[in-house]
Amino acid sequence: MYLEVQVSPVTGSVQAGSVNLSGSATVNKTISSVNLSKAIVISSFWGIQQAYVNTGGYGVRVRLTSATNLEFYCGMGMSGSARYQVIQLDGIKNIQRGIINMNGESTKSASITAVSTSKTIVIFSHEGITLNYDGQTDGVQCYLSASNQVTAYCGVGYRGTVAYQVVEFN
């Protein structure tokens, strides 16, 4: 399935940059003010795990916590660099943001205000560890499971957080 959406041009500038992270830490990055109802965050992370003891800690959770602040949270024992882009689009009708806390469940959902599934995408970031890692599948998915529900799907034993942005276009 693919989603084809006509969106208005980007308003203002796309803000991009990087943040260095080390260990289990929260780093806040000040950005130029954005309209929270029209701005999305896209991020990537590269790093190494400092202490591997039969658990796999990985990822960086990135989210807008205010119109001028990006919050980065680095998973257990990770060090590296997170890159980000904050993009403001006129064609966005609505953005719903939240965090799903995973505590070993393979699937967990959060209720949202109903959206048009044919005009909506989910963008997410995550951090966490997979306990009893040996021989188990790993990874995280986050998707709309209904018009009023977003679901995170993780490997068995995953402990961490998934920050989601449900973006509905005009």
Instruction: Kindly calculate the radius of gyration of the chain based on its CA atoms and give it in whole angstroms.
Output: 16
pLDDT digits (tens, 9 = 90+) for 74-88: 766 667 788 899 999
Q: Grade residue 11 by pLDDT with cuts at 50, 70 and 90.
A: low
Are 59 and 45 spatial neighbours (Cβ–Cβ below 8 Å)? yes
pLDDT digits (tens, 9 = 90+) for 18-75: 988 876 678 899 999 999 999 999 988 776 555 554 444 567 788 999 999 999 887 6
Cα 21 to Cα 7, 18, 63, 95, 126: the distances in Å are 34, 10, 15, 27, 14
In degrees, to the nearest 5, what angle opens at C-alpha 103 toward C-alphas 41 and 141?
Answer: 40
CA–CA gap between residue 139 and residue 153 (Å, rounded): 8
Q: Grade residue 91 by pLDDT with cuts at 50, 70 and 90.
A: confident
Are 43 and 19 spatial neighbours (Cβ–Cβ below 8 Å)? no
Give the number of other Cβ atoms within 10 Å of residue 102's Cβ: 22
